[in-house]
Chains A and B, each alone.
Chain A
């Protein structure tokens, strides 16, 4: 009898009108979220650089706000709005989720954390585990990437708790690219360095206001050159690296610079 009394004190009597209200709120929230996502993505495809990234990064935040607003509107329709009632119901729901849908709940919470901490945003290029691609959607439970091979990868947010997230551009349009050149050790390193810098300076994809660097490293099999530069837009990274590689190889070959031709040997075992 007491249990029945307390449950009627917590929950309101739900009639058809309240059910319709709840359905209407949910429908409006879903429509709003879908419309907002479509509009922002459509607009994002027409913008470039920082403006595009800023706009796309707003999508998960706006979705969260719409979702919270819907919950705020629905809860008082179902529960008598008092602190006691709220603690009782939300505590019960929390325990149920914790046991029954632990991973799902973990991903949802990580999704909220991802909106706050911003380890990735729409438009960022990230590496999570073995996957590297552009973030195209930060959902409530998952983040979606598109790889250079046009594969769509869906990764739950709860990877945040244990894995490291490598973000190549961190919300900015600039993204460093590296073109590798493996050369025979007998050559004029200074000449090669200046040639490689010119390769970058003459690439039409280069963002000229960002630095161009050449890092040289002597290895047992020859000399490893790393040409580091930034494309105008992060989406150009593969075409940029290809362009640097094609024109770099062509120039080095024309200048008579030989490439390293050693068979691939694991370095730790090279002396064995």
Chain B
């Protein structure tokens, strides 16, 4: 499929940028604004961190509270209705809006555009966007190609056959290794791509890899884009939008401890609940990890069809109400504060490469194969990492505590 094949985005017929859902927007990375916490929550979080310093991680504290123990996690079918994974078409629409001028060859001096994403923020975005625009999708090189600096990898680019064709490289993080032999290919790629030798393309990059690569290739990139942070109002709109609505049915998400409503859909209430503001701040505006936390915190009554009927007329219509309980605990895996230096090295390497195969770790780190394996298994049991496409990667729920650990020890972190 070529660009002109796409009926939805035939730009010859478009005079204005396409509209995107208002909660997704792509902005230059310098304009990213991580959501803040209300002062009371910030103090509570600081106190919780301090208490963690003073004691070892108490496994019992990670268990649900007594009154929540009776509730059970939502079945997958119900989760798919109430909080399905992010549909990549929505961020793709927003990316279309952000790249509207560039796709029209304005400004012409930018042959490539970078799209930087935090881990789990919008993983399927660029392959979908590429398909939408008939762009060639460039697969990352193999490990051997990276270590050999194999320039045959550039044969994939549509430079010779169809030089005007757009291309998309969705995962720049998989194109290098933090090894003396692992940098040549990515440097050549960036040099050739930025010089326009490879034609017009979009490069997607994980935010951690981006932070590292900017030390290898210190060229300013004011045009690099990222999805704007999901603060409380945006996250509320996202969670509301995610629900597959049924007619005459209202879903009430209620705090399992207090019974207070956190979110009601549909609702005329425009106020953002502090729980959602806190979730947005905890996940630093990352919609992917926020949605994962949200999904994990949803609970239902056991042995009960959760539908309750209310005869109260609302806006002239009769609504059924469905109560979904939201656990008051984030239930995230925590790293013990005594985590040793080798653990930090492994976690940092996994984040900088957007996941790594276990066999590569001893090549990149001054650790033995057995030592790496032992650390991986420990972290896996702590639910901090998991295998994904044959690569070990930090889990969405473990990401926040891993990031805090690495930031606290002064390791390079992403700019978000």
Q: Which residues of B contact A128 (CB under 8 A)?
A: none
In the complex, the answer to whether A201 meets B365 with C-beta atoms within 8 Å is no
16 A-B residue pairs with CB within 8 Å: A47-B53, A48-B408, A49-B409, A198-B180, A199-B180, A202-B178, A202-B182, A204-B178, A204-B349, A204-B365, A204-B366, A207-B410, A209-B412, A239-B366, A242-B366, A243-B366
Pick the residue among B53, B212, B338, B408 that contacts A208 (CB under 8 A). B212
CB distance from A242 to the nearest CB of B (A): 8
In the complex, the answer to whether B215 meets A246 with C-beta atoms within 8 Å is no
| Given A201-B216, A247-B180: A46 touches B411 (CB 8 Å cut-off) | no
Q: Which residues of B contact A (CB under 8 A)?
A: 53, 178-180, 182-183, 212, 215-216, 337-338, 341, 345, 348-349, 364-366, 408-412
Q: Which residues of B contact A177 (CB under 8 A)?
A: none
Q: Which residues of B contact A247 (CB under 8 A)?
A: 180
CB distance from A201 to the nearest CB of B (A): 7
In the complex, the answer to whether A246 meets B366 with C-beta atoms within 8 Å is yes
Q: Which residues of A contact B212 (CB under 8 A)?
A: 208
Complex Cα distance, B178 from A46, in Å, reads 28
Complex Cα distance, B408 from A234, in Å, reads 14
In the complex, the answer to whether B408 meets A201 with C-beta atoms within 8 Å is no
- What's the A-B contact tally at a CB cutoff of 8 Å? 53
Q: Which residues of B contact A198 (CB under 8 A)?
A: 180, 183
In the complex, the answer to whether B364 meets A204 with C-beta atoms within 8 Å is yes
- Interface of B, helix, strand, loop or mixed by DSSP: loop
Query: Does residue A29 face the partner (Cβ distance < 8 Å to B)?
Result: no
The CB with the most chain B CB atoms within 10 A, among A48, A239, A242, is that of: A48
Complex Cα distance, B177 from A202, in Å, reads 9
Pick the residue among A204, A233, A246 that contacts B410 (CB under 8 A). A233
CB distance from B350 to the nearest CB of A (A): 12
Query: Does residue A178 face the partner (Cβ distance < 8 Å to B)?
Result: no
Q: Which residues of B contact A71 (CB under 8 A)?
A: none
Complex Cα distance, B364 from A173, in Å, reads 24
Q: Which residues of A contact B53 (CB under 8 A)?
A: 43, 46-47
Q: Which residues of A contact B349 (CB under 8 A)?
A: 204
Chain A residues numbered 44-61 whose CB sits less than 8 Å from any CB in chain B: 46-49
Q: A173-B410, A233-B409 are in contact. List 6 more A-B contacts (CB 8 A).
A: A48-B408, A48-B410, A198-B183, A202-B180, A208-B212, A243-B366
Q: Which residues of B contact A251 (CB under 8 A)?
A: 180
In the complex, the answer to whether A202 meets B409 with C-beta atoms within 8 Å is no
Q: Which residues of A contact B215 (CB under 8 A)?
A: 201, 208
Q: Which residues of B contact A233 (CB under 8 A)?
A: 409-410
CB distance from A214 to the nearest CB of B (A): 14
In the complex, the answer to whether A48 meets B409 with C-beta atoms within 8 Å is yes
Q: Which residues of B contact A169 (CB under 8 A)?
A: none
CB distance from B55 to the nearest CB of A (A): 10
Q: Which residues of A contact B179 (CB under 8 A)?
A: 202
Complex Cα distance, B179 from A232, in Å, reads 18
Pick the residue among A201, A207, A243 that contacts B183 (CB under 8 A). A201
Chain A residue with minimal CB distance to B409? A48
Complex Cα distance, B41 from A70, in Å, reads 40
In the complex, the answer to whether A46 meets B337 with C-beta atoms within 8 Å is yes
In the complex, the answer to whether A208 meets B180 with C-beta atoms within 8 Å is no
Chain A residues numbered 80-94 whose CB sits less than 8 Å from any CB in chain B: none
The CB with the most chain B CB atoms within 10 A, among A195, A198, A233, is that of: A198
Q: Which residues of B contact A48 (CB under 8 A)?
A: 408-410
Q: Which residues of A contact B411 (CB under 8 A)?
A: 232
Query: Does residue A236 face the partner (Cβ distance < 8 Å to B)?
Result: yes
CB distance from B179 to the nearest CB of A (A): 6
CB distance from A108 to the nearest CB of B (A): 34
Complex Cα distance, B147 from A202, in Å, reads 13
The CB with the most chain A CB atoms within 10 A, among B180, B215, B408, B412, is that of: B180
